[in-house]
Amino acid sequence: MSKTTAIINQKGGVGKTTTALNLSYVLSENREKVLLIDFDPQASLTAALGYNADNKINIQTLMAAAIEENELEEDYIINIKDNLDLIPCSLELAGIEMSLVNVMSREMVLKSVIENIEDNYDHIIIDCSPSLGMLTINALAACNSIIIPVTPEYLSAKGLGLLINNISKIRKKINPNLTVDGILITMINERTHLSKEMTRVLNESVDSIKNKFNLDMKVFQSKIPISVKVGEAIMNRKSIIEYNPKNKVSESYKDFAREWREW
Ligand SMILES: Nc1ncnc2c1ncn2[C@@H]1O[C@H](COP(=O)(O)OP(=O)(O)OP(=O)(O)O)[C@@H](O)[C@H]1O
Ligand SMILES: [Mg+2]
């Protein structure tokens, strides 16, 4: 059975897309078959993979077809490399979010898209937008696991509490199979005292959130350091794993993938 994982945080710029991309690369290099879904109208993941989905079949076309109950004849999955496929996205996904308002079972549209293809994959990884709107609710209804990237500057217990509260509502109402795997600290400068203090504060907030919502989740031991190479890799339309496999960020995404697989 495939595992469907949403990379979520309503806060922008915390490393969701970078994590979706690099985790997928590591898994695909370990011969697991991975499908990436770009589910953010900003389409950063699609762009990072050097693809332009304007006027082509993309996730919003698939959602529209699912709403209309139309079958799509054309092939809509982009092969990126061995074991790694992409369903791309363009800005128009924002329009789908509006049109979902009048749709029955509007939370379940992405799930119905995924159900048709999930048997072909070991992992489906969904890169979410920085919001808690209807698109994110669709991702939460479609997935069975969640990774929450956070940066040391944004260890707001309030923001995290709001997110977990939403996740826990979806779990009660529409998706009882939903689990939060954990929180991944990204863009950390481990040498600074501030980062150590922030990590400690985060661990404390997670403990209290876990108790409050009766959820089993953890803060991953593996943390992703900050490095200018990540930006360079993006400029070159590559994951950091391809661009600079020995870089500390590449190594830490490999450690993280291992820790996550074993959890
Ligand atoms: N480990 C890292 N070191 C340095 N820069 C990083 C690192 N991870 C991500 N970045 C950079 O930080 C920015 C935000 O990262 P990313 O796009 O992955 O975040 P996001 O959560 O997906 O953002 P959004 O909410 O806008 O979708 C990008 O410019 C990215 O290149
Ligand atoms: Mg993103």
Q: pTM score > 0.75 for this model?
A: yes
Ligand 1 atom with the smallest distance to the CA of 233 is 31
Please report the pLDDT score of residue 156 as a whole number.
Answer: 60
- Residue 15 C-alpha to ligand 1 middle, in angstroms? 4
Question: How far, in whole angstroms, is CA 21 from its chain's centroid?
Answer: 9
Ranges 71-80, 97-106, 136-145, 160-169, most confident? 136-145
39 secondary structure, DSSP code = E
Q: How far is CA 255 from CA 23, 31, 250, in A?
A: 10, 16, 9
- Token readout for 198 is 């922030």
Residue 51 has pLDDT above 70, yes or no: yes
- Would you call 85 helix, strand, or coil by DSSP? strand
Q: Annotate 212-259 with three-state secondary structure.
A: HHCCCCEECCCCCECCHHHHHHHHCCCCHHHHCCCCHHHHHHHHHHHH
Looking at 3-7, 44-48, 151-155, which range is the least confident one? Answer: 151-155
Q: How many CA atoms lie within 13 A of 6 on its CB side?
A: 28
pLDDT over 90 percentage in the chain: 66
Task: Look at residue 174 and give its three-state secondary structure.
Answer: coil
CA of 135 from ligand 1 middle (Å) equals: 20
Task: Provide residues with CB under 6 Å of ligand 1.
Answer: 12-18, 40, 42, 44, 130, 186-187, 224, 226-227, 230-231, 234, 249
Of all atoms in ligand 1, which is nearest to the CA of residue 224?
Answer: 1
The pLDDT value recorded for residue 68 is 87
Confidence at residue 200, expressed as pLDDT on a 0 to 100 scale: 85
Sign of CA dihedral 82, 31, 116, 164: negative
State how far the Cα of 164 lies from the Cα of 209, in Å rounded to an integer.
8
Instruction: Give 176 Cα–ligand 1 centroid separation in angstroms.
Output: 31
Q: How many residues does the chain have?
A: 263
C-alpha radius of gyration, the chain, whole number:
18
Q: Average the pLDDT over 76-88 and give the result.
A: 94
Is 166 within 8 Å of 6 (Cβ atoms)? no
Question: Closest-lying ligand to the alpha carbon of 186?
Answer: 1
Mean pLDDT value across residues 77-91: 94
User: pLDDT by residue (tens digit) across 209-225?
Assistant: 888 888 888 899 999 99
Angle between helical axes of 248-262 and 16-29 (0-180°, round to 10)? 70
pLDDT band with cut points at 50, 70 and 90 for residue 155: low
Give the HSE-up count for residue 112: Cα atoms under 13 Å, Cβ half-sphere: 17
Residue pair 35/125 in contact (Cβ under 8 Å)? The answer is yes
What's the DSSP call for residue 71? Answer: P
The alpha carbon of 239 and the centre of ligand 1 are apart by a number of angstroms equal to: 12
Atom of ligand 1 nearest to the CA of 226: 3
| Domains of the chain: total | 1
Ligand 2 centre and the CA of 226: distance in Å?
Answer: 16
Residue 44 belongs to domain with CATH number: 3.40.50.300
Q: Write the CB contacts of 60 (distance below 8 Å, at least 6 apart in sequence).
A: 89, 90, 92, 93, 95, 96
**What's the CA-to-centroid distance between 81 and ligand 2, angstroms?**
21
Domain interval for residue 180: 3-262
Nearest CA to ligand 1 atom 18: 15
pLDDT band at 154 (very low <50, low <70, confident <90, very high): low
For 56-66, how does the pLDDT look when each residue is reduced to its tens digit (9 = 90+)? 889 999 999 99
CA-nearest residue, atom 29 of ligand 1: 231
Please check the confidence at residue 256 and state whether its pLDDT lies above 90: yes
Residue 204, H or E segment: helix 193-213
Higher pLDDT pick, 255 / 69:
255
Q: Please tell me the distance from the alpha carbon of residue 178 to that of residue 168, in angstroms, as a whole number.
A: 9
